[in-house]
Amino acid sequence: MSISSMFSNKTSRRGFIKFCSYIASALALPASLVPKIAAALERKPRLPVIWYSFQSCSGCTESLSRAHAPTLEDLIFNYLSLDFHDVLQAASGEAAEQACEQSMREHHGRYVLVVEGSIPLGAKGAYSVCNGLSSLEQLSKAAKGAAAIVAIGSCASFGGLARAAPDPTGARSVAELMQDGQIMKKPLVNLPGCPPLPVVISATLAHFIVFGKLPELDGENRPLAFYGNTIHARCSRLSFFLHGQFAESFDDEGARKGWCLFKLGCKGPSTHNACASCKWNGGVSFPIDSGHPCIGCSEPGFWDSKGFYQPIRGNVPLHS
């Protein structure tokens, strides 16, 4: 959609440039790239997106619906052509399936495939079936024509809750299926979190629109701009950790004074995410600010991490 269409949707030029600046900042890009981002978003057609939900709770979709910069409406009307999403689309049944098939044909090699939820291999895929196809069959078919795949949330990235012991459904991540040769290898970005921050989703898609490629990734295929540092390194309670001031229980004096939650099992020192800097609900807060320790939801296997409220053992790095 052109910039004139954006104005018709009540998006001012000032608001548009502010959004471009926000995206550049979120992705740790220099301010000098803001004009390039603006020009690309004005010039390029909306990015075709096919979004599949497999073994998930739809929490990642809920997270995207709460995006504020840009809003979900801005994303869909101005930047993305959301051609298939079984939760957000108006169509259902055969009409929805036909729309998906048409998008895969017309945008072959150009659409981004978003995967929410893990993919079950147990019982020959019977744990998750739609339109007579298992999740693996749907994913394999859609991956063939995708320009890139975005694994949204910890379930798609690492297996998530369904993968927790004893893993009754044989849940697997997108990366594992690529490594095993069960789906075609494509450029892959993992956006873990239970759920991931809205800005992580919108900024990653914006990066692909502007630059035609995924952002720089870490060893777990996560964008370095968001997952390059631990929550601990940017935590608002870090000074209390450095001074040895810890809450011993959830209702003691230390907790009321906002002291460090490390002894209550905070996984911030071993968790790579941007919660402490981007925060939730439009930058209002995040769990640690609200008095609850980080549970490490953006790390592989966090459901089997020996208890959310057990302190981390060993040395704690301050900046990593």
107 annotated among ligand-binding-site residues: no
Phi then psi for residue 233, to 5 deg, are -65, -25
* 309, 264 contact by CB (below 8 A): yes
Burial 110-144 (b: 16+ CB within 10 A, else e): ebbbbbbbbbbbeeebebbeeeeebbbbbbbebbe
297 annotated among ligand-binding-site residues: yes
130 annotated among ligand-binding-site residues: no
| Measured distance CA(172)–CA(153) in Å, rounded | 13
Closest by CA to 198, choosing from 90, 78, 74, is 74
266 annotated among ligand-binding-site residues: yes
275 annotated among ligand-binding-site residues: yes
20 annotated among ligand-binding-site residues: no
| Measured distance CA(271)–CA(40) in Å, rounded | 33
Structure token digits, residue 247: 């809450």
Quote the crossing angle between the two packed helices 198-211 and 34-43, to the nearest 10°. 80
* 290, 265 contact by CB (below 8 A): no
232 annotated among ligand-binding-site residues: yes
278 annotated among ligand-binding-site residues: no
| Measured distance CA(301)–CA(88) in Å, rounded | 29
Structure token digits, residue 172: 């697997």
SS3 for 204-255 is: HHHHHHHHCCCCCECCCCCEHHHHCCECHHHCCCHHHHHCCCECCCCCCHHH
| Measured distance CA(197)–CA(286) in Å, rounded | 10
Q: For the chain, state the CA radius of gyration.
A: 20
- Give the residues across from 81 on adjacent strands: 48
- DSSP β-ladder status, 119-120 and 171-172: antiparallel
| Measured distance CA(73)–CA(107) in Å, rounded | 22
235 annotated among ligand-binding-site residues: yes
Q: Residues annotated in the binding site for [3Fe-4S] cluster, as ranges?
A: 275, 294, 297
State the binding site.
57, 60, 155, 194, 232, 235, 260, 266, 275, 294, 297
Annotated binding site for [4Fe-4S] cluster: 57, 60, 155, 194, 232, 235, 260, 266
